[in-house]
Structure 1
Amino acid sequence: MRCVYCNSEKIVKNGKSNQGKQRYLCKECGRIFVENPERKHYPDNLKKTAIRLYTDGVPIAVISRSLEVPYETVRSWIRAAGEKAIKKNRRKEKSLSEQSI
């Protein structure tokens, strides 16, 4: 088995996850991981609600508690939405600048 982050073979067992799966610690990069983690999938409307609440000024911690979604999950949705918006704006700016030439 190898570390899912750095591909090192220097790993040791490190307890069990909340789901009872074996947890591992990488001695190379220091990160903890679970082999074949079960990811929880959330509906798109829940993600959109979280992003809308954030753009309305609601703190991530409040969104997380209200929607019963882990803080880091909400944070990753917001970050991904921001990156998507930046890319979309760059494409629009490029298109507009090409039209004005």
Structure 2
Amino acid sequence: MAIRCIYCGSTDVIKYGKTRTGKQLYYCKSCNKYWVKGGIFHRYPKEVKDMIVRIILEGKSVKEVSKEFNIPVATIYKWLKEVKINENN
């Protein structure tokens, strides 16, 4: 199973060494971005992401969900984009 870029969804990803704490660093050749899988920017558990996406797909607005769960609108839109990328591949 190929690693997907968390930013653009591309599979043109390579391992790019390790961080000082020993976590694997990845680099996307398509969008030229770096990230650590499961790093500090992934602070919401998968279960929360899935629940939020499901609530929105059932008809609640992104703005309503953002206020109710105190999650930034931009973060929710990113999750929705990730779901769309994964459904297309």
Q: TM-score, normalised by structure 1?
A: 0.46
Measure the CA separation in 1 of the matches of 2:79 and 2:41. 15
% identical equivalent positions = 18
* Over 2 Å off, 4+ runs: none
SS of the equivalent of 2:44 reads coil
- Residue of structure 1 in register with 2:87 after alignment: 85
Number of residue pairs aligned between Structure 1 and Structure 2: 50
- Residue of structure 2 in register with 1:18 after alignment: none
Pick aligned residue for 1:57 from 59, 63, 74:
59
Measure the CA separation in 1 of the matches of 2:59 and 2:76. 14
Counting helix residues as a fraction of each chain, which structure ranks higher? 1
Letter in 1 for 2:48: L
Return the structure number with greater relative CO, CA threshold 8 A, min gap 6.
2
1:42 and 2:41 aligned: no
How much is the aligned-residue C-alpha RMSD, in angstroms? 1.4
Structure 2: gaps (5+ residues)? 1-39
SS of the equivalent of 1:69 reads coil
Measure the CA separation in 2 of the matches of 1:51 and 1:81. 8
Structure 1: gaps (5+ residues)? 1-37, 88-101
Measure the CA separation in 2 of the matches of 1:70 and 1:63. 9
Q: Residue 67 and residue 84 in structure 1: after superposition, are their counterparts in 2 closer, same or farther (change >3 A)?
A: same
